[in-house]
Amino acid sequence: MTKKQRALEIIERLKKEYPDAGCTLDYDQAWKLLVSVRLAAQCTDARVNVVVEKLYEKYPDVEALAEAPMEAIEEIVRPCGLGKSKARDISACMKILKDEYGGNIPKDFDALLKLPGVGRKSANLIMGDVFGEPAIVTDTHCIRLTNRMGLVDGIKEPKKVEMALWKIIPPEEGSDFCHRLVYHGRDVCTARTKPFCDRCCLEDICKIPG
């Protein structure tokens, strides 16, 4: 079985296992996903979803958040860790959205990468979830599971994993595939305990079972 064949089979099985898998960060406007994904660095999505409620209650739109004192933002987002740097990036990012994009998010990968605190992972998430464009989000689940499954060979660097996956994952499947990896990584192919291979839908084709 080639890597591409393995990838296609994994995609189909995960579709059946997690048909409704989507982004685990709560948002109802594009700019809120931008904020949440910055807060999610070294923090659980569940905690981010709680913290942003307070943030949006006080600063309900891009303009309000852009004009908010950075110290006030930091005070609210501190439970997510790295409060100072995250507050600084969020503040700077919202100012750019307000001043250069009319409060909207640019629909361009390279433009997203120029925003403070936005890396390839975040830019891909936004391109896929907000704009429905081809995207591969190489978060920790993606990197760990694609190595275990044999889709990439011992690669840990996010950009290199992304580039390797682009070669074998159909563009239109990338975004949903990565979301399903998050669910599978939490429920079955866990990191903090031994993976539950006995109830894994991929056991017979996984490169490194057990």
Question: Which one is catalytic: 86, 98, 121, 176?
Answer: 121
d(CA 16, CA 107): 31
Helix %, strand %, coil % for the chain, to 5? 60, 0, 40
Ramachandran sector of residue 22 (left: φ over 0; alpha: ψ -120 to 50; beta: rest):
beta
Catalytic residue among 139, 160, 176, 207: 139
Q: What are the φ and ψ backbone dihedral angles of 101, each rounded to 5 degrees?
A: -125, 15
Q: How many CB atoms lie within 10 A of CB 57?
A: 9
Q: Give Cβ neighbours of residue 157 (< 8 Å, ≥ 6 apart).
A: none
DSSP element (H, E) containing 170? none
The b-or-e profile of 42-52 (16+ CB within 10 A means b, else e) is ebebeebbebb
Which residues neighbour 99 within 8 Å (Cβ) at sequence distance 6 or greater?
66
Tokens representing 11 are 């995609």
Does the active-site annotation cover 139? Answer: yes
What are the catalytic residues? 121, 139
